[in-house]
């Protein structure tokens, strides 16, 4: 019982804290799929899109799919420039099938596309479970393979669905994948000139799922003469935690670009391989998002200002929350250069436990790159390092300290959306502040645009990318073009980083808080800020606060609406955003939703059985709050006038007027459901009257029959026995047992029995929960039932 209570307390605390953190994580705008705003490439021969490569220098987007590479126009991907097929040979396919794989997977899935220079790509594919890599030559509008495919075991995955990572740096190819057909030998490999790889030890890599690799040029302007680093991100089974099941953790590993391996120990193995836990959690609740889905490096001119952004999910539970955490280079450096190591210790029954290493650490520091300090001891390459340093790093690859995110918490939490891919763009606003705008692809084919300012999470919009739901498999950003390129299994789409023209009002443009957009007072439109090179004094933008006080009021055209007395009227109105609410006013006074005369809903208002009293002016106001301020705008106005049923000419004229003004009445175009509701209401009134009459007659007849029957049977008491009979009747009417009866009352009536029953422990306690509609604020209630007799506690499903 005590453990259950603790669990409930922690869950409730989690929900309260999450509520405080994700107030605005409902996307402000939802933009459904529109064919005109998105350019699409979807042609025969394109399937299983797995990788995209943006080449801004050649204005080309390279697309890797099954058995083919496509070259598309970067400015308009609907235009195909060239394509090159690369099929696995029939012998390879037959061999693959004989080894137990199906025919579909025994083809060539292009997984890697790396740019060597403007005329050369490095391309790798699964090649029917026999990985191969080749060079692709680009010549104007032609692309062709050199035809010198090489065995690429350890470079490219065997399995097309296996997660992997790679990067091409200065003529060397770094890869993180599996080294064998069964996928049981994970490896981080540098191939080509100086091959070096990881050890096949669970302390180094334990069932990893690789996500990404990035190089950071830490040698640039470095006073310590340090080396460039390659960072590897993955999820693996933890070796340092004891748990009843496999506990997954996210990792960041680091290797040095100049690492050549050891001389005697760690020959052709990384001497600089170190890894640490990548933390993304709500610290006060000890609630961890322990599976990393994707990572993006936001590069800056000074590498120390670069930031890693990662998408995380949870291993267990049904909270259905995606988290985004950001990591600074300073925190990452401190963990690897100053943090403690973990080491294995053998305890009873030959069990190995990982604890903080408290012994003496060799010099130079194990796992460090060759820098000025190492050179001062005469160690100019990794092969010069002493054996005790190499032996130590071989046995202690894991750091004790974890890499914590900026602010020690996620920059974004979103319930109901499973994020799959992320890219980030740094934008300078009108206020000269820089904003990191996150673009997040979802498992159901949406793109979210979001940012975090001073701890506040805000999702500008969600955009439907595909006509049918498909997971976003790849996502690339071209800051130079201001374009995003998104790939699913069957197609690639192109869209701008912002569509400012969708905001028709100044209020809508400012409340969007889109760093890309500003309201131009001179042209009276929402414009892309980057295109405004002249005088910016006439522009309005408020990304931090969403303050639309500077916007001028807008007068809407009043739509004339003629109605027939006794009919129902439907007036349409849509709020400006998902964060806005709607208020209706009639002749300047606010209408109440409780009034049975009106039906207020998301799409407008219905007025039932219209009379002359309802004629007048109706205004629909969209009200939105931000930073404690409330902004409203009239989005629809109607003027209702009565007409005579007998005037056929007026009826025809009114019909034409309604068509011209787009006003809608129930008689012409109210949804069928509303018509049926009105008819049903009339029928119900008639039925109700008929039932009441029948019931009255029935009761009268029954009463007469019972009266005669009781006289006949002698059940009616004579006057001197009425007091005794009445006393017995009162006792017979009591509800509840003598044990529940109150003293001197003779019985406990229904209400008292109910109260007694509740006090005995049978009651329902409401618990706050997340809704199932993708909202991040708790707007649904479930309950936990406490049964007093058994003392058991049943917790209803809290999330989803």
pLDDT digits (tens, 9 = 90+) for 13-66: 554 544 444 444 899 999 999 877 789 999 888 999 999 999 999 999 999 999
End position of a domain, from candidates 123, 141, 156 = 156
Residue 331 included in any domain = no
The predicted pLDDT at position 694 comes to 74
Q: What is the Cα 55 distance to its own chain's centre?
A: 28
516 and 568 assigned to the same domain: no
- CATH at residue 664: 2.60.40.10
Give the range among 279-283, 321-325, 380-384, 773-777 with minimum mean pLDDT: 773-777
- Taking residues 700-704, what's their average pLDDT? 74
Residues 589 and 646 in one domain: yes
Q: Give the pLDDT score at 27.
A: 96
Confidence of residue 688 (pLDDT cuts 50, 70, 90): low
In this structure, how many other beta carbons lie within 10 angstroms of the beta carbon of residue 694?
A: 10
pLDDT of residue 192: 87
Using CA atoms, how far apart are residues 495 and 448, in angstroms rounded to an integer? 13
Residue 644 lies in a domain: yes
519 and 571 co-located in one domain: no
- Residues 534 and 562 reside in one and the same domain: no
The domain boundary residue, chosen from 626, 656, 678: 678
Nearest one of 348, 383, 233 to 293, comparing CA atoms:
233
User: Do residues 663 and 632 share a domain?
Assistant: yes
The predicted structure's pLDDT at residue 528 = 96
The structure's pTM equals: 0.79
Considering the domain boundaries, does residue 137 fall inside one? yes
Within a domain: residue 150? yes
In a shared domain, residues 528 and 572? no
What DSSP assignment string belongs to 751-780?
Answer: HHHHHHHHHTT-EEEEEEEB-SSS-SS--E
- 448 Cβ contact partners less than 8 Å away, ≥ 6 residues apart: 27, 414, 417, 419, 438, 439, 440, 442, 459, 461, 462, 463
Domain that holds residue 618: 558-678
- CATH code, domain with 526: 3.30.1680.10
**Strands 629-643 and 558-564, how do they pair?**
parallel
Q: For residue 32, is it within any domain?
A: no
Q: Are residues 530 and 591 in the same domain?
A: no
Res 670 pLDDT > 60: no
Q: What is the overall mean pLDDT for the chain?
A: 82
Are 576 and 582 in contact by the 8 Å Cβ rule? The answer is no
Are 579 and 641 in a shared domain? yes
Confidence of residue 320 (pLDDT cuts 50, 70, 90): confident
Task: Give the best-scoring range by mean pLDDT among 114-128, 668-682, 718-732.
Answer: 114-128
313 inside domain: no
R_g (Cα) of the chain, nearest Å: 36
C-alpha 130/C-alpha 92 separation (Å) is 8
63 occurs within a structural domain = yes
Residue 316 has pLDDT above 70, yes or no: yes
Euclidean distance between CA atoms 219 and 228, whole angstroms: 5
Same domain, 614 and 513: no
Q: Is residue 111 part of a domain?
A: yes
φ and ψ at residue 293, rounded to 5 degrees:
-105, -35
637-675 exposure pattern, b = at least 16 Cβ within 10 A, e = fewer? bbebeeeeeeeeeeeeebeebbeebebbbbeeebeeebe
Domain total in the chain? 3
Residues 65 and 152 in one domain: yes
Which of 118, 140, 156 finishes a domain? 156
Which pLDDT does position 42 carry in this prediction?
92
Region 497-507: mean pLDDT is 95
The verdict on 562 and 674 lying in the same domain is yes
pLDDT score for 2: 47
- Cα separation, 402 vs 412, whole angstroms: 20
Are residues 525 and 634 both part of a single domain? no
């Amino acid at each position: 019982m005590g453990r259950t209570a603790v669990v409930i307390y922690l869950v409730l605390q989690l929900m309260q804290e999450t509520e405080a953190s994700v107030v605005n994580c409902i996307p402000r705008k939802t933009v459904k799929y529109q064919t005109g705003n998105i350019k699409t490439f979807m042609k025969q021969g394109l399937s299983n899109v797995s990788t995209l490569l943006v080449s801004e220098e050649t204005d080309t987007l390279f697309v890797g799919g099954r058995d083919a590479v496509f070259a598309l126009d970067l400015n308009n991907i609907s235009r195909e420039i060239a394509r090159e097929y690369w099929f696995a040979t029939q012998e390879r396919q037959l061999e693959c099938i004989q080894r137990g794989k199906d025919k579909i997977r025994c083809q060539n899935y292009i997984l890697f596309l790396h740019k060597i220079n403007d005329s050369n790509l490095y391309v790798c594919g699964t090649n029917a479970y026999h990985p191969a890599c080749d060079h692709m030559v680009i010549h104007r509008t032609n692309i062709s393979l050199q035809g010198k495919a090489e065995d690429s075991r350890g470079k490219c995955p065997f399995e097309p669905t296996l997660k992997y990572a790679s990067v091409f740096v200065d003529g060397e190819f770094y890869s993180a994948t599996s080294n064998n057909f069964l996928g049981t030998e994970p490896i981080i490999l540098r191939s080509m000139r100086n091959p070096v790889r990881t050890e096949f030890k669970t302390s180094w890599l334990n069932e990893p799922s690789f996500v990404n690799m990035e190089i950071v040029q830490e040698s640039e302007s470095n006073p310590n003469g340090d080396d460039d680093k390659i960072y590897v991100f993955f999820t693996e089974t933890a070796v340092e935690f004891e748990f009843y099941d496999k506990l997954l953790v996210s990792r960041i590993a680091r290797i040095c670009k100049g690492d050549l391996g050891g001389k005697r120990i760690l020959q052709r193995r990384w001497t600089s391989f170190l890894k640490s836990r990548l933390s993304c959690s709500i610290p006060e609740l000890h609630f961890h998002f322990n599976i990393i889905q994707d990572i993006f490096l936001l590069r800056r001119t000074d590498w120390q200002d670069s930031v890693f952004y990662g998408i995380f999910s949870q291993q267990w539970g049904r909270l259905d929350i995606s988290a985004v955490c950001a990591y600074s280079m300073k925190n990452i450096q401190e963990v690897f250069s100053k943090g403690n190591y973990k080491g294995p210790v053998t305890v009873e029954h030959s069990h190995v436990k990982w604890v903080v290493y408290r012994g003496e650490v060799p010099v130079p520091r194990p796992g460090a790159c060759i820098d000025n300090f190492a050179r001062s001891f005469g160690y100019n390459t990794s092969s010069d390092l002493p054996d005790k340093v190499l032996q130590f790093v071989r046995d202690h690859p894991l750091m004790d300290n974890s890499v914590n995110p900026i602010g020690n918490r996620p920059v974004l939490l979103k319930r109901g959306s499973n994020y799959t891919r992320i890219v980030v763009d740094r934008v300078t606003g009108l206020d000269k502040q820089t904003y990191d705008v996150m673009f997040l692809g979802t498992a159901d084919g949406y793109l979210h645009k979001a940012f975090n300012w001073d701890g506040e999470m805000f999702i500008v919009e969600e955009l439907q990318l595909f006509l049918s739901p498909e997971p976003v498999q790849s996502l690339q950003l071209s800051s130079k073009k201001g374009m995003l390129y998104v790939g699913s299994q069957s197609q690639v789409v192109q869209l701008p980083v912002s569509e400012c023209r969708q905001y028709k009002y100044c209020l809508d443009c400012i409340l969007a808080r889109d760093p890309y957009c500003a309201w131009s007072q001179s042209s009276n439109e929402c414009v892309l800020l980057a295109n405004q090179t002249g005088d910016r004094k006439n522009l309005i933008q408020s990304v931090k606060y969403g303050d639309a006080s500077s916007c001028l009021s807008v007068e809407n055209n009043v739509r004339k609406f003629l109605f027939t007395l006794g009919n129902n009227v439907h007036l349409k109105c849509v709020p400006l955003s998902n964060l806005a609410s709607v208020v209706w006013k009639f002749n300047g006074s606010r209408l109440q939703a409780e009034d049975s005369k009106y039906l207020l809903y998301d799409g407008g208002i219905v007025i039932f059985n219209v009379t002359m009293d309802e004629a007048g002016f109706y205004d629909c106001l969209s009200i939105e709050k931000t930073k404690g301020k409330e902004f409203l705008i009239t989005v629809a106005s109607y003027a209702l006038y009565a007409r005579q049923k007998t005037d056929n000419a007026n009826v025809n004229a009114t019909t034409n007027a309604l068509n011209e003004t787009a006003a809608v009445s129930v008689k012409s175009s109210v949804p069928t459901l509303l018509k049926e509701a009105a008819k049903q209401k009339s029928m119900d009134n008639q039925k109700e009257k008929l039932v009441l009459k029948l019931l009255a007659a029935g009761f009268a007849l029954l009463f007469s029959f019972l009266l005669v029957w009781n006289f006949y049977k002698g059940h009616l008491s004579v006057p001197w026995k009425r007091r005794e009979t009445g006393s017995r009747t009162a006792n017979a009417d009591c509800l509840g047992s003598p044990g529940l009866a109150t003293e001197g009352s003779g019985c406990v009536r229904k209400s008292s029995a109910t109260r007694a029953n509740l006090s005995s422990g049978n009651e329902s306690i409401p618990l706050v929960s997340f809704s199932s509609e993708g909202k991040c604020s708790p707007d649904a209630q479930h309950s936990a039932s406490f049964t007093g007799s058994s003392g058991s506690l049943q917790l209803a499903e809290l999330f989803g």
